[in-house]
């Protein structure tokens, strides 16, 4: 038993109206889909940026304190060079000082500090600070002749540039 269809055929104006409504709804759906995709992409970009900033924060959090500790390391280094090991007591003090220096340096290395010692290398303004220049026939121009103060890096970031004397061609 089939029931007769109670719907009357739609008028052509109604069909056009429905087509326009459908087109408008499809356009709005496409716009909303585009907005959703853009919002998802933006959220992913923010997540990546936060992860990168967090990693850098963790990596370089100790930069200030390590920068201050390298001056302590420099002082110990100078003390080791200045002490003459003439008596047994002086040698004992020197050995203790050397062990303290070694312990401090191993701690600095453990936190990512590395030495910039450019002796005999070409001058690099990104890692070195030229204190003066000297004429030299033995060393090519632009080469580091001597290191006045060693430099240090924390991972890939410069903590302090090496202070150097650079060779120049004789006049």
Residues 163 and 124 grouped into a single domain? yes
The band of 5, judged by pLDDT with boundaries at 50, 70 and 90, is low
Question: Is residue 52 one of the residues assigned to a domain?
Answer: yes
Please check the confidence at residue 2 and state whether its pLDDT lies above 80: no
The answer to the question of residue 7 being in a domain is no
Residue 71 domain boundaries: 62-111
Q: What is the pLDDT of residue 38?
A: 95
pTM above threshold 0.85: no
- 19 and 48 together in one domain: yes
Last residue of a domain, one of 73, 93, 111: 111
Looking at the structure of the chain, the number of domains it has is: 3
Q: Characterize 18-45 residue by residue with b for buried, 16 or more Cβ atoms within 10 angstroms of its Cβ, and e for exposed.
A: eeeeeeeeeeeeeeeeeeeeeeeeeeee
- The pLDDT, as a whole number, for residue 85 is 63
- Residue 4: inside a domain, yes or no? no
Q: Do 70 and 103 belong to one domain?
A: yes
User: Residue 6's pLDDT is what?
Assistant: 58
| Percentage above 70 pLDDT, the chain | 92
For residue range 25-49, list pLDDT tens digits in order: 999 999 999 999 999 999 999 999 9
Quote the crossing angle between the two packed helices 63-82 and 88-110, to the nearest 10°: 160
pLDDT band at 8 (very low <50, low <70, confident <90, very high): low
In this structure, the answer to whether residues 46 and 72 fall within a common structural domain is: no
CATH (domain of 158): 2.30.22.10
Q: What is the pLDDT of residues 107-148, one digit of tens each?
A: 999 989 999 999 989 999 999 999 999 998 888 999 999 999
Q: 107 and 80 share a domain?
A: yes
> Same domain for 84 and 121?
no
What pLDDT is stored for residue 41 in this prediction? 94
Question: Quick check: is 2 in a domain?
Answer: no
**What does the pLDDT read at residue 141?**
92
Q: What pLDDT, in 10s, does the model give residues 83-111?
A: 766 777 787 888 888 899 999 999 999 98
**More confident position, 142 or 81:** 142
State which of 111, 131, 148 marks the end of a domain: 111
pLDDT band per the 50, 70, 90 thresholds, residue 167: very high
Tokens read off for 91: 């040698």
Straight-line distance from the first to the last Cα atom of the chain, in angstroms, rounded to the nearest whole number: 116
Residues 56 and 96 in one domain: no
CA 147 to each of CA 14, 118, 131: distance values in angstroms, whole numbers, following the listed order: 89, 7, 9
pLDDT of residue 32: 95
């Amino acid at each position: 038993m089939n029931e007769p269809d109670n719907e009357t055929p739609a008028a052509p104006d109604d069909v056009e109206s429905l087509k326009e409504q459908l087109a408008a709804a499809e356009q709005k759906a496409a716009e909303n889909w585009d907005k959703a995709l853009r919002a998802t992409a933006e959220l992913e970009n923010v997540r990546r940026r936060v992860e990168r900033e967090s990693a850098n924060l963790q990596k370089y959090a100790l930069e200030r304190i390590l920068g201050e500790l390298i001056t302590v390391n420099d002082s110990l280094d100078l003390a080791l060079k200045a002490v003459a090991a003439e008596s047994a007591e002086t040698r004992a003090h020197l050995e203790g000082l050397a062990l303290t220096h070694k312990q401090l340096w191993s701690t600095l290395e453990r936190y990512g500090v590395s030495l910039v010692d450019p002796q005999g290398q070409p001058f690099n303004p990104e890692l070195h600070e030229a204190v003066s220049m000297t004429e030299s026939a033995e060393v090519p121009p632009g080469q580091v002749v001597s290191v006045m103060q060693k430099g240090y890096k924390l991972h890939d970031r410069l903590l302090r540039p090496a202070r150097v004397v650079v060779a120049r061609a004789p006049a």
